[in-house]
């Protein structure tokens, strides 16, 4: 999806004016890309319509380039679709706060219980986990293991009592032991059925949780929407946790779950490890879906650690296409101040988390790059196009690398040049648009 949208949007860049036909054409591709990403059909239709209405007409004709304008609109509408601002947990005015996790089997409830408990503990809470899944073999043991890992107590009563009784006894246990957050793990089913819903309704009406969080596997695409709709209709939910966003870049579920249920996505699961839980940021997700990676947070990060004057200088050079190896070298040094390379790469458009995991980012590689650039003459650094075959050979020898490595760097340099150009374009649109963040 990311790639597709990016291509579409790229096509729009550099055109003088956005005509109705341009918009229609672009939106047809946006629509296909969204559908391909398993976004609910109706959601896609509404979305495309909305963007079309906004894009064709006066707004587009203002000072932004057409491409920037449409990126801005698509981005804003996507953000809006996913809830605009970050949605936090509601804590009870009088503790304990009770959080109940529900969802189908394998969605990630038990894992998320552990993640959430760990997160809340870090925030100074005293969570208690309650093992309410009495059906799945080893479910209780699993919760005990994750609870142990985050050092949060787990209340169990085996699998002979009903989930309602376990929840009730667990709640009392928590109250007596000063726990201020109680997280109930529940059983799922392979499919939604009456028995499951009745069971959950019973727990709900007995314990009256402050938060019922539906855990949804983001890999299930369209099904995620149906599941969310059912749970919300029959049980009533307060929010959604979207798991396994690390496994597949399709953000389809995130897009449609919110718009169909009108309930916010509160957290996302980004891996099997217990620290892999993050608050859900609609704006970031929108950017990601648009194939812009976490461009904006990268810009922020860069701004924080870049010398402001140098950055300005650099931007001017990029704008006038004067970005050279000298600047690249300087950039590499700046990057080191920004944090581990892998983290930075992750935020770069088109470099998905998945590819990245298979890709060992070798910090040694950075040293090679530095050596190569340092082996260039100043003239070569300022005018990379003059670096022909024999010069490459010389540079390789001088830096103790191979011609292939030099070639690779030349290519990377070209890409970086393009990427930096993209950033400045986006930044410009951010400044002018104001809301684009
Ligand atoms: P439950 O049946 O809903 O309780 O689901 P579990 O918590 O047992 O999780 C099912 C499987 O999904 C386990 O293998 C988890 O490790 C895995 N899982 C859960 N959340 C995530 C996630 O965010 N990313 C990845 N990659 N795997 C996850
Ligand atoms: Mg479970």
Atom of ligand 1 nearest to the CA of 276: 23
Query: Which pLDDT score, from 0 to 100, does residue 76 have?
Result: 81
Rounded to the nearest integer, the mean pLDDT of the chain is 79
Question: 295-433: CATH homologous superfamily?
Answer: Signal recognition particle, SRP54 subunit, M-domain (1.10.260.30)
Which range in 51-55, 133-137, 257-261, 264-268 is most confidently predicted, on average pLDDT? 264-268
Instruction: Report the separation in Å between the CA atom of 365 and the middle of ligand 1, taken as the mean of its atom positions.
Output: 35
Q: Which residue, judged by its Cα, is nearest atom 12 of ligand 1? A: 108
Lowest mean pLDDT among 46-50, 54-58, 253-257: 54-58
Q: Where are the domains of the chain?
A: 2-81, 97-289, 295-433
Instruction: Report the separation in Å between the CA atom of 431 and the middle of ligand 1, taken as the mean of its atom positions.
Output: 40
At residue 400, does pLDDT exceed 60?
yes
Atom of ligand 1 nearest to the CA of 115: 20
Query: Which pLDDT score, from 0 to 100, does residue 258 have?
Result: 85
Atom of ligand 1 nearest to the CA of 270: 23
Query: Which pLDDT score, from 0 to 100, does residue 249 have?
Result: 56
Which of 102, 105, 110, 111 most suits a substitution to test ligand 1, by most atoms within 8 Å of the C-beta? 111
At residue 143, does pLDDT exceed 70?
yes
Query: Which pLDDT score, from 0 to 100, does residue 75 have?
Result: 76
pLDDT band at 93 (very low <50, low <70, confident <90, very high): very high
Three-state SS letters, the chain: CHHHHHHHHHHHCCCCCCCHHHHHHHHHHHHHHHHHCCCCHHHHHHHHHHHHHHHCCHHHHCCCCHHHHHHHHHHHHHHHHCCCCCCCCCCCCCCCEEEEEECCCCCCHHHHHHHHHHHHHHCCCCEEEEEECCCCCCHHHHHHHHHHHHCCCEECECECCCHHHHHHHHHHHHHHCCCCEEEEEECCCCCCCHHHHHHHHHHHHHHCCCEEEEEEEHHHCHHHHHHHHHHHHHCCCCEEEEECCCCCCCCHHHHHHHHHHCCCEEEEECCCCCCCEEECCHHHHHHHHCCCCCHHHHHHHHHHHCCHHHHHHHHHHHHCCCCCHHHHHHHHHHHHCCCCHHHHHHCCCCCCHHHHHHCCCCHHHHHHHHHHHHCCCHHHHHCHHHCCHHHHHHHHHHHCCCHHHHHHHHHHHHHHHHHHHHHHHHHHHHHHHCCCC
Instruction: Report the separation in Å between the CA atom of 40 and the middle of ligand 2, taken as the mean of its atom positions.
Output: 27
User: Which fold does the domain 97-289 belong to in CATH?
Assistant: Rossmann fold (3.40.50)
Query: Which pLDDT score, from 0 to 100, does residue 37 have?
Result: 67
- Averaged pLDDT, 42-47: 87
Query: Which pLDDT score, from 0 to 100, does residue 311 have?
Result: 57
pLDDT in tens, 262-312: 999 999 999 999 999 999 988 777 766 665 443 344 434 444 444 455 556
Query: Which pLDDT score, from 0 to 100, does residue 136 have?
Result: 86
- Residues of each annotated binding site for GTP: 103-110, 185-189, 243-246
- Residues of each annotated binding site: 103-110, 185-189, 243-246
Higher pLDDT, 74 or 200: 200
Q: Which residue, judged by its Cα, is nearest atom 16 of ligand 1? A: 272
Q: Name residues contacting ligand 1 (CB within 6 A).
A: 103, 105-111, 188, 215, 243-244, 246-247, 269-272, 276
Under CATH, which architecture does the 2-81 domain have? Answer: Up-down Bundle (1.20)
Predicted ipTM of the assembly: 0.99
Instruction: Report the separation in Å between the CA atom of 130 and the middle of ligand 2, taken as the mean of its atom positions.
Output: 12
Higher pLDDT, 7 or 431: 7
């Amino acid at each position: 999806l990311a790639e597709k949208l990016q291509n579409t949007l790229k096509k729009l860049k550099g055109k003088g004016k956005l005509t109705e036909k341009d918009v229609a054409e672009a939106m047809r591709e946006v629509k296909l890309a969204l559908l391909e990403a398993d976004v609910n059909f109706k959601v896609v239709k509404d979305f495309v319509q909305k963007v079309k209405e906004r894009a064709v007409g006066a707004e587009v004709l203002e000072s932004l380039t057409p491409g920037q304008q449409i990126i801005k609109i698509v981005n804003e509408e996507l953000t809006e679709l996913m809830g605009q601002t970050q949605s936090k947990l509601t804590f009870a005015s009088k503790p304990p706060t009770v959080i109940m996790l529900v969802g189908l089997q394998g969605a990630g409830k038990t894992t998320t219980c552990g993640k959430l408990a760990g997160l809340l503990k870090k925030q100074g809470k005293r969570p208690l986990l309650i093992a309410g899944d009495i059906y799945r073999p080893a479910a209780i043991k699993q919760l005990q293991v994750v609870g142990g890992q985050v050092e949060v107590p787990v209340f169990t009563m085996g699998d002979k009592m009903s989930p309602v009784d376990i929840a009730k006894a667990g709640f009392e246990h928590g109250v007596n032991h000063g726990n201020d957050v109680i997280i109930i793990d529940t059983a799922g089913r392979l499919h939604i059925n009456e028995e499951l819903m009745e069971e959950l309704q019973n727990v709900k009406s007995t314990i009256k949780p402050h938060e019922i969080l539906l855990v949804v596997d983001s890999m299930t695409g369209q099904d995620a929407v149906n599941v969310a709709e059912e749970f919300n209709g029959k049980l009533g939910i307060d929010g959604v946790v979207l798991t396994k966003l690390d496994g597949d870049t399709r953000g389809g579920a995130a897009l449609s779950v919110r718009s169909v249920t009108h309930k916010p996505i509160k957290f996302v699961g980004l891996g099997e490890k217990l620290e892999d839980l993050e608050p859900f940021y609609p704006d970031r997700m929108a950017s990601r879906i648009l194939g812009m990676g976490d461009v904006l947070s990268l810009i922020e990060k860069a701004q924080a650690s870049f010398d402001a004057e140098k950055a300005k200088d650099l931007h001017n050079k990029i704008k006038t296409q004067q970005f050279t190896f000298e600047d690249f070298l300087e950039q590499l040094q700046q990057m080191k101040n920004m944090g581990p390379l892998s983290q930075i790469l992750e935020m770069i458009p088109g470099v998905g988390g998945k590819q990245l995991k298979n890709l060992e980012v070798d910090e040694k590689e950075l040293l090679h790059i530095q050596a190569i650039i340092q082996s260039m003459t100043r003239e070569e650094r300022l005018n990379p196009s003059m670096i022909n075959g024999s010069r490459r050979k010389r540079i390789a020898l001088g830096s103790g690398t191979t011609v292939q490595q030099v070639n690779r760097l030349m290519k990377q340099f070209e890409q970086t040049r393009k990427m930096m150009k993209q950033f400045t374009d986006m930044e410009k649109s951010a400044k002018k648009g104001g809301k684009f963040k």
